[in-house]
């Protein structure tokens, strides 16, 4: 089973454990069955998902939106965690963008959605703030017929 992730990067710090547990629970039926998680490794939902996939015994595939993603979009204080997940991934794909931006994020979303059997969405149900956001990824997956599991536990919130 190949499962992708889309979700908010600005989850409130005091609800990370709630989301982490909800992701672990959602992945539990797929553990030990060839689980592959596909993530862009953005902070928040993407990284929580990547951790949960690895903890469930699955393998991790990473889709990075651009060649400069780590240097320009991952904050210095968050790079160690990003790198820790990146080196544990079985496969890394870079989109054909030199610089991160809306088109790069849209293309990365498309690459994730196009390569999975199911999409998990850590999403509060609100519309996207701009192109390439969580709501857009959910809409794109649904339009393609990819099943979407919305994961938003009671008490979850964005900053």
Angle formed by the axes of helices 79-88 and 45-55, nearest 10°: 40
Domains of the chain, residue spans: 2-150
First to last CA, the chain: 32
Instruction: Say which residue, 131 or 139, is predicted with more confidence.
Output: 139
pLDDT at residue 133, rounded to an integer = 81
Which region among 32-41, 128-137, 145-154 has the lowest average model confidence (pLDDT)? Answer: 128-137
Phi, psi of 31 (to 5 degrees): -60, 145
Mean pLDDT over 77-95 rounds to 96
- Please answer whether residues 150 and 139 qualify as being in contact, where contact means their C-beta atoms are separated by less than 8 angstroms: no
Mean pLDDT over 117-133 rounds to 86
Per-residue pLDDT band at 131 (split at 50, 70, 90): low
pLDDT digits 0-9 by tens, 45-85: 999 999 999 999 999 999 999 999 999 999 999 999 999 99
Closest CA to 61 of 39, 82, 81, 30: 39
pLDDT digits 0-9 by tens, 38-49: 999 999 999 999
Does the pLDDT of residue 132 top 80, yes or no? Answer: no
Token pair, residue 10, equals 């600005």
- The class level of CATH for 2-150 reads alpha beta
Closest CA to 114 of 143, 141, 79, 82: 141
To the nearest 10°, the Cα dihedral for 61, 66, 68, 71?
A: -50
Does the pLDDT of residue 2 top 70, yes or no? Answer: yes
| DSSP state for residue 62 in the 8-state scheme | E
As beta bridge partners, residue 3 has 37, 118
Average pLDDT, the chain: 94
pLDDT at residue 130, rounded to an integer = 64
Q: What angle do CA 27, 123, 142 make, to 5 degrees?
A: 80
Closest CA to 95 of 71, 74, 65, 69: 65
């Amino acid at each position: 089973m190949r499962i992708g992730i889309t979700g908010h990067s600005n989850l409130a710090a005091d609800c990370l454990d709630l989301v982490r547990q909800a992701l672990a629970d959602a992945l539990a039926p797929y553990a030990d069955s060839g689980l592959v998680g596909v993530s862009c490794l953005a902070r928040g939902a993407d990284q929580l998902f990547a951790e949960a996939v690895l903890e469930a015994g699955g393998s991790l595939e990473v889709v990075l939106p651009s060649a400069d993603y780590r240097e320009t979009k991952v904050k210095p204080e968050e790079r160690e965690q990003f790198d820790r997940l990146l080196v544990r991934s079985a496969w890394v794909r870079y989109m054909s963008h030199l610089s991160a931006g809306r088109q790069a994020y849209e293309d990365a979303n498309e690459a994730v959605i196009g390569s999975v059997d199911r999409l998990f969405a850590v999403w509060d149900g609100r519309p996207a703030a701009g192109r390439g956001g969580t709501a857009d990824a959910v809409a794109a997956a649904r339009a393609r017929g990819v099943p979407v599991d919305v994961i938003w536990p009671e008490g979850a919130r964005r900053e």
